[in-house]
Amino acid sequence: MKACKNCHRLTEAPICQICQMPTSKTWQGYVVVSDPERSMIAHRMNITKKGKYALKVR
């Protein structure tokens, strides 16, 4: 899996489908967001769509 450098979303694609930014293989940890509107982490990371997100992306 790779992570988007902008929104941190995990994907297999070389370009993030949400924000069209390049993805990186270098990332650490991930969080599963199932309810973005009620998740503190989602709010802090500006996540508005549910899915898996990397905590750190380089």
Task: Out of 2, 3, 7, 42, point to the residue binding Zn ion (CB under 5 A).
Answer: 7
Round to whole Å and give the CA distance between 56 and 36. 18
54 interacts with Zn ion by CB under 5 A? no
Task: Out of 11, 18, 31, 36, point to the residue binding Zn ion (CB under 5 A).
Answer: 18
Which amino acid appears at position 7 of this protein? C
Q: Do 51 and 33 contact (CB within 8 A), yes or no?
A: yes
Task: Out of 1, 13, 15, 19, point to the residue binding Zn ion (CB under 5 A).
Answer: 19
32's tokens = 């599963």
Which residues contact Zn ion by CB under 5 A?
Answer: 4, 6-7, 9, 16, 18-19
